[in-house]
Amino acid sequence: MGLSHSSIYHSSHVRSVTTSGLVIVEPFSEIYPRLDIYDFYGNEKYESQVDLLIQSYQALYDRPYNDMRSFYQVAGIHGLPYTAYDGVTGGAEEYHNDTDWETGRFGGYCHHGDVLFPPWHRPYMLLIESLLVEEAKKIALQYPDNEKEKYVEAAKQLRHPYWDWADVKAIEGVPKIFTSPEIKINTPNGKKNVKNPLKSFTLPVDLSYPLVKGQNPTDKPNYNVPNISYNPYTPAGYPTVRHPNSNYEDQTDLLNSNMSVYVPTVFRPGMYQMFHISDFLRFSSHGVNSDDSQSGNFFSGHPPPTNPAGMAHFASMETTHDDFHLVCGGPGGHMGYVDLATFDPIFFFHHSNMDRLLALWQGIYPNSWIPKTIEPNGSYTDVLNKAIDEYTDLTPFRKTKTEFWKSSDVPDIEKLGYTYLEVEKFKGQDPKKLKAYVLELYKPDPHFGRRFFVKLTIKAGKLDGPCSIRVFIDLPDANAQTLVTSPHFAGLVSMWSSNKKHAHDNSFVYGTVDITAAMERLNIRTQVHDPLQEVNTTTGLLGPLWLFNVEKDITIVPVSLNGYEASPKEAGVDKIEVFTFEHDKVDPNFLDENSGKYYGSKKF
């Protein structure tokens, strides 16, 4: 997992234990909901909370960078700077850059590509959230007496909002609260236009190391996106960016344009698929083997699916998560890189949403949780291929001075002091009602017949750096220059954490693209063929209504984040398979698993 590691990635400074005591991630004593940013911002009801959130983010930015409770230090838990956070080393298993990077071991604390991906991010979000609320409570006390009570109550109720980037409203682009340079809020000293801390974070120290001339922010107005084998360099005093131009400035219009394409073709279909997966192993991460089991899973004994078109082949939560990272960051943007993503504040609104999706999935499938498996990629405290389960320490998040949070501690979000309005609404009801709600929310298009899917089996680590595997229908000459606005574009699978050093013989990533909408746009028949009826008994030839040819009519175009086009084989695409499902006759939002049929495949 992660990008290609090099000794130059190691930070030039070493973090130390905070002087204000160990960082303990404590749950809130009262339960309040995390709110949708679409409801939160611009809503008079939550104006006070918005005021406090903006000022609280800025307060974390303003803390000394070596303070373990500063934004810089909290962001640095995930990937770079590959040093111990708050003294959490892992003992004898501590990551050592001079030796471990060569093995492909990841140097941050985060989990990707294993079953701890969803639960690890839960105490991570709780940490940033609790620090923000702590700041909000201090700020609330600074308001004039005639406003103080209102702000004290707002601080108590404040929980970290989420951005549902698969909401139909996201087709219009990124909410302005994340893109406006300034934002008007009511401060203890009156209403003011302040610098918007949710647009970017300015690095207090260098992040990564300088690259060749022309590939550093200091080279603006002649900045070029770096060679994809390396993390972009961010000098001290420079902000995080999204889709940077030659002047190292955000291209928000380009990001919004991409959202208009990818929300309907990638994000919503991905959400729709993953809520059909009932097994946590397959739902949780993209780290899988060629036999459909977790990469390196020596323990679960999970057999290959008996139905070759079973829903186990649908895209995981992590796959859809990865898609958003690449679309949001773009070439050279921090969100596009595993090691850098957390320094962009939008990361935490994204992961608040991922936590919401996990909570919704738990409500639908309450009896599935974390199996015993392994961690193939390692982390700052865990060696490669370490055995993991729900009792594995989620380092570096301390529950007390002597113990760390574990996945077994976090299934019930109410015990952590927060909830989501949707979860609360369906609490205690039949899980099928919640599932029906979620599938209605994310149904990718109004087609209620038979849906067609292309499943991609991709060998991990064939390319260095993030890339997307684009799928085009009935366009044999599609290439990296073919616009994703083309009616032939069906969707993509993202390889966010690709690194040649992490390539293992049996390590594959699965992704699934719903090609139904593209087929309809191109007037390609979407009924399943019946060879017995469609073969001419006299000539032995197929009839004219035979569906498209999997070998010829599906084109796979791998494109790295900097625009380089690779062949499917170079990118590790092992094979593609086409399968179909019918919608349920009673509730058309559901796909009927028993209707799954395998259509055909192509090897590369």
Taking a C-beta distance cutoff of 8 angstroms, is the pair 405, 398 a contact?
A: yes
Which of helix, strand or coil describes residue 563?
coil
Return averaged pLDDT per consecutive 10 residues of the chain, 604 residues in all: 36 53 96 98 97 98 97 97 95 90 89 94 98 98 98 98 97 97 98 98 95 95 83 95 97 96 93 92 72 41 38 78 94 94 98 98 96 91 94 98 97 98 96 95 82 89 85 96 95 77 64 91 70 50 55 92 89 91 85 85 92
> pTM of the predicted model, to two decimals?
0.89
CA nearest neighbour of 427 among 410, 413, 439: 413
Are β-strands 450-459 and 508-514 bridged in parallel, bridged antiparallel, or unpaired? antiparallel
pLDDT score at 537: 52
Neighbours of 142 (CB within 10 A): 13
User: For residue 81, is the peptide bond before it cis, meaning its omega torsion is within 30 degrees of 0?
Assistant: yes
pLDDT score at 16: 55
CA nearest neighbour of 447 among 339, 503, 520, 551: 520
State the Cα–Cα distance between residues 90 and 84, nearest whole angstrom: 9
Residue 127 is encoded by which pair of tokens?
A: 């940490």
